[in-house]
Amino acid sequence: MAQQTTTSSSIPENAYKELKPGEEYRPIMLPEQTYPEVTLWSVTWGLVMAVLFSAAAAYSGLKIGQVFEAAIPIAILAVGITGVAKKKNGLGQNVIIQSIGGASGVVVAGAIFTIPALYILALPASYFQMFMASALGGFLGILFLIPFRKYFVKDMHGTLPFPEATATTEILVAGEQGGKQATVLVVSGLIGGIFDFVFSAFGAWSEVITSRMFGWGEILSDKFKMVFKVDVSAMVFGLGYIVGLKYAAIIAAGSFLSWFVMVPLVYEVGQYLTIPLGATATKLIAQMSPEEIFRTYVRQIGIGGIAMAGIIGIIRSSKIIAGAFSLAYKEIVHHKSGDERKTIRTQSDIRMLWVVILILLTAIAIFIFFVIGVLPTIGQAIVALLVVTIISFLFTTVAANATAIVGTNPVSGMTLMTLILSSLVLTQIGLSGTTGMVSALIIGGVVCTALSVAGGFITDLKVGYWLGSTPKKQETWKFLGILISAATVGGVILVLNQAYGFIGDKAMVAPQANAMAAVIKPLMSNAPTPWVLYIVGAVIALLLVILKVPPLAFALGMYIPQELNTPLLFGGFIAWFVSTRTKNDNLNNARFQRGTLIASGFIAGGALFGVFNAFLKFIDQQWPFGYSGWNNEQWAGSTNGEIAGLVMFVLLFAYALWDSMRGKETNS
């Protein structure tokens, strides 16, 4: 068929609005015409992006507990690469590049939230387990989402905001006009990457600055167990800009409740005790630092809040879940009955009959995987398969709905629930101890990846809907992106475990995996479980719902270490500042978009340089070249090192603010 050029270079006016009766949405790439989409160019670059951003996202998630969504930086790079190559009709190809490459972040989220817990609990772990759990979970996420595509992206047109899809769409559309934005991303990526590499590789300054650098801060820490901490990483700072001031403030509020209220309160109540409080405590509260009180007691409250936030999400999406079987049935009957009319290109999905067949084949593959590499008996493998498929299906719409509304996916809370449910089921069929923990974590990994992929893929499909891509092509080639990303993330986890480890003071933080480990160990080893602390967190989440505060964001703030939450406020402040300084909305938007590019560069650059640093450390451990001696840890950990870190963070903040304000209004 002849390939046509697009008829418009801008998004239609009714793209983000609810349609009036009889009104039709006409995308940029017209439904009745065909365009280059799946080409050697788009598939190759999509796979390159999948590998690069899988590595970057894995490092980011294990270090700071936040997996940055790769869709925006990949879209920017796709636009830049296509522009440099002077490719004609690049819009459809860029969508495929972004869709295939975007598998990276979502697969990584599924893997790193669970798999590192195997190392944390000193359980046997293999590359085969990591790869299979990620790949098969990703396949389920794609297949369970396809029946809901029309509902979310077409039927709910203009109702659901899709913040991340909106940003990605705008970037791809702008790319049709030149792709100059890629320059801003590359420059900021180099600045952010080098900034983080200098302190992480050489110890040029302290990565975490605290109020202890001042005399009064030391007194507050010792006497009242109160300490203020900030991670100066450009990557975390950039994430705060993308999250925005509202959610950054909610996350920080949860963190401040933990560190400035609950930690001092635990100390005040328990400082006179003469025995350790709780089954997991080994020290007297009076002898604990603020960090030890947080890890031993307060963090468990955050876990309870995260789990309850997941339950709330399912309840809110119950109507959508209930209609899923009906949607699938109608699609299959529609195709079988022979009354199917030719579907227009922009609304053609993989046939529902094939979706059902592929689901069955994936389920068989999961069963074989469980029998061969996870569970000791066939009966237990059947039970595990049922747990995986039922929970994945029920939570798919929760993940998609959350992503469509706020641009974030509460996958960690839902995975915690999965672990609790699967652990309770597995103990009833005779599994416990080491085998039980490994089984529950692998099950959790499959479910977590399925939900993560579903949430991310709905963004890809919405982008394709707005621009006029062919859904069937996005759905088909997404499987390849999942496979490559799963293969990459398994290797990266192995390298990071060798370079840093997941246990100890210098280890990767891996907060979600630590949460999973903390929950599953007592359930599977008949050890006392801190149910009271979990319940307190659950009650706080319920109160937040009454107060109309997003419970998941607040609970994550309670759980993740304070130093990784506070920088979000600074990034969020810049996002608010640059977008509100004038009464000219177009100028405010131009500044905000430039800031988005800068923040995305900080995130991608910091993460990629972090992976490079991890590989250097890994190589140094295998064949010592003296690389580890380059890091001046003593200086970085000193008061002067912290002061230097504060100065550098102020300079980074000033640069981001200055460069964002350089955004200029375009005449269009």
What is the pLDDT averaged over residues 283-289?
86
Ramachandran bin of 338, using left for φ above 0, alpha for ψ from -120 to 50, beta for the remaining angles:
left
Report d(CA 54, CA 604) in Å as an integer: 11
Q: Is residue 403 part of a domain?
A: yes
Average pLDDT over residues 361-386: 89
Query: Percent of the chain having pLDDT more than 70?
Result: 82
Give the residue with greater pLDDT, 631 vs 637: 637
Residue 166 lies in a domain: yes
Mean pLDDT within 298-309: 82
Residues 492 and 114: beta-carbon distance below 8 Å: no
Q: What is the DSSP letter of 581?
A: S
pLDDT of residue 108: 83
For 422-428, what is the mean pLDDT?
80
Q: Mean per-residue pLDDT for 167-179?
A: 67
The residues facing 231 across adjacent strands are: 208
Nearest CA among 603, 613, 638, 661 for reference residue 105: 603
Question: Lowest-confidence range among 160-164, 264-268, 470-474, 564-568?
Answer: 160-164
Q: How confident is the model at residue 1 (pLDDT cuts 50, 70, 90)?
A: very low
What b/e sequence results for 143-162 when a residue is b if at least 16 CB atoms lie within 10 Å of its CB, and e otherwise?
Answer: bbbbbbbbebbeeebeebeb
Tell which phi-psi region holds residue 10, choosing left (phi > 0), alpha (psi between -120 and 50) or beta: beta
Residue matched to tokens 């406020």: 569
Q: How would you class 342 by CB atoms within 10 Å of its CB: exposed for 0-12, middle for 13-18, buried for 19 or more?
A: exposed
Tell me the mean pLDDT in the region 314-323. 68
Residues in the chain: 668
Element (H, E) at 208: strand 208-210
State yes or no: pLDDT of 45 exceeds 90.
yes
Q: pLDDT at residue 22 above 80?
A: no
What pLDDT was estimated at residue 409? Answer: 58
CA distance 400 to 405: 9
Cα–Cα dist 242/363, whole Å = 37
Asked if residue 399 belongs to a domain, the reply is yes
Q: Which amino acid is at 60?
A: S
Distances (CA, A) of 172 to 5, 116, 249, 455: 15, 35, 30, 20
What phi, psi does 378 have (nearest 5°)?
-65, -40
CA distances from 399 to 408, 455, 545, 581, 668 (A): 9, 5, 18, 35, 36
Distance CA 551, CA 163 (A): 19
- The pLDDT of residue 339 is 44
In order of 449, 575, 598, the CA distances from 595 in angstroms are 30, 7, 5
pLDDT of residue 544: 93
| In contact, 480 and 357? CB cutoff 8 Å | no
What's the predicted TM-score (pTM) here?
0.72
Asked if residue 125 is part of any domain, the answer here is yes
* 368 within some domain: yes
Q: Which residue has the higher pLDDT, 170 or 575?
A: 575
The token pair that represents 474 in the structure block = 């996005």
**Taking 70 as the threshold, does the pLDDT of residue 615 lie above it?**
no
DSSP-H helix ranges across 126-278: 127-145, 149, 163-175, 181-202, 215-224, 234-243, 245-257, 263-270
| pLDDT confidence band for 507 (50 / 70 / 90) | low
In-domain check, residue 597 = no
Measured CA to CA, the distance from residue 527 to residue 67 in angstroms comes to 32
What does the block give as tokens for 556? 């994550």
pLDDT one-digit tens code per residue, 216-268: 988 898 888 999 999 999 988 987 887 788 888 998 999 999 999 999 999 98
Whether 228 and 640 have beta carbons less than 8 Å apart is answered as no
Q: How confident is the model at residue 3 (pLDDT cuts 50, 70, 90)?
A: very low
Does residue 663 sit within a domain? no
d(CA 377, CA 546): 46
* Whether pLDDT at 636 is above 50: yes
| Mean of pLDDT values over 200-225 | 88
Has residue 397 been placed in a domain? yes
Mean pLDDT (the chain, rounded): 81
Helix (H, G, I), strand (E, B) or coil at 156: coil
Q: Is the dihedral of CA 7, 11, 17, 18 positive or negative?
A: positive
The band of 5, judged by pLDDT with boundaries at 50, 70 and 90, is: very low
Using CA atoms, how far apart are residues 278 and 529, in angstroms rounded to an integer?
9
If one counts the domains in the chain, the total is: 1
Interior CA angle at 47 toward 46 and 48, to 5°?
90
Highest mean pLDDT: which of 96-110, 368-382, 466-480? Answer: 466-480
The span from the CA of 411 to the CA of 403, in Å, is 10
Q: Mean per-residue pLDDT for 358-364?
A: 94
Range of the domain at 139: 40-177+330-338+350-503
Give pLDDT, residue 429: 79
Q: What's the pLDDT band for 365 if we cut at 50, 70, 90? A: very high
